[in-house]
Structure 1
């Protein structure tokens, strides 16, 4: 084994500096390949909003303004033209979405209706159908959800009017709802 001379190291360094004397750093467009951190999921906010939707509908709401026509469900928000209700009953607007509440208990139906209306509002839908059933499968053979749905819908600001569906759309087991634009 031979021992290297310390002067060789100094010569190598000085040779290197001489070789790179006029060099400039290269400009690069370095792209970070590190994966971007995902945005945090606001889980508590989502839970709070869902609970607010549930809490926004009460079974004990007493409307200030409701139209009664025997057993037929009719409602027109105060300040709206009666022509709106007339057009709704005649099928002037096309039903753009629908849900069926058959088999749901009251609490499940309330949440489903609230989420459905919120989703329709986000999608810009105006006319929807909610099938509540005729109550033939309930204990007393009475339409429990029909009456609760009436109260829930009147509490929603998005609802302008609703009317019992025509026979080909579900009749007394469904309601057609007109939402704000």
Structure 2
């Protein structure tokens, strides 16, 4: 053992220790303001990243042949009756066949937002009856029935007439966009001033 220590000392005879750089103490407020602003903006964007309020949590599933319907207070009975009878032309259509709940959630939200933005009023969403589901329950239909009342743009919805998909589809009535409301005001005001 003594021979090993002596041998080690002989080998290390000309070695000098490395010089270490002095450690730098960072101050708490040493971060540039631009970096702090960028961090804050990124954090705010992360929080506000998903503006979709629709939930894909588990819900009670509906029977495939259940007739879905919903009407907000203030929607005229005649308007709702015409919607149920399929008398309004569908201005846009969304087919959810083959989608997962997460995909359908995203598509339904985007579809309603875009339709409202473009001033569309009557839509149809084809959700299916869930016949491919072995549990004999209409999963997407159940979620659509749960999601649509959560969106303030949706004024009413109901299962479609047989020629448009029956209980495998839903007619949707959207509120008038601000742009359409202003066009109506302008038209009415113009008619009165002539």
TM over 0.5: yes
Q: Which has the larger radius of gyration?
A: 1
Is 1:154 aligned to residue 177 of structure 2?
Answer: no
TM-score by length of 1: 0.65
Poorly superposed stretches of 4+, deviation over 4 Å: 42-50, 59-62
Out of 122, 127, 132, the position equivalent to 1:137 is 132
RMSD of equivalent CA atoms? 2.6
Question: Is the alpha carbon distance of 1:82 and 1:59 closer, same or farther for their aligned partners in structure 2, counting shifts above 3 Å?
Answer: farther
TM-score by length of 2: 0.61
1:90, distance to aligned residue in structure 2 (A): 1.5
Equivalent in the alignment of 1:103: 98
Corresponding pairs, count: 131
Question: Is the alpha carbon distance of 1:61 and 1:153 closer, same or farther for their aligned partners in structure 2, counting shifts above 3 Å?
Answer: farther
Distance in 2 between the 1:48 and 1:121 partners? Answer: 25
1:44, distance to aligned residue in structure 2 (A): 9.0
Cα shift readout 1:106-158 (whole Å, capped 9, x = no counterpart): 11111110001011011111000000011001131211111110110000000
1:81, distance to aligned residue in structure 2 (A): 2.1
Distance in 1 between the 2:147 and 2:43 partners? Answer: 25
Equivalences for residues 61-72 of structure 1 within 5 A: 71-72=66-67
5+ residue gaps, structure 2, are 1-40, 60-64, 177-194
1:80, distance to aligned residue in structure 2 (A): 2.0
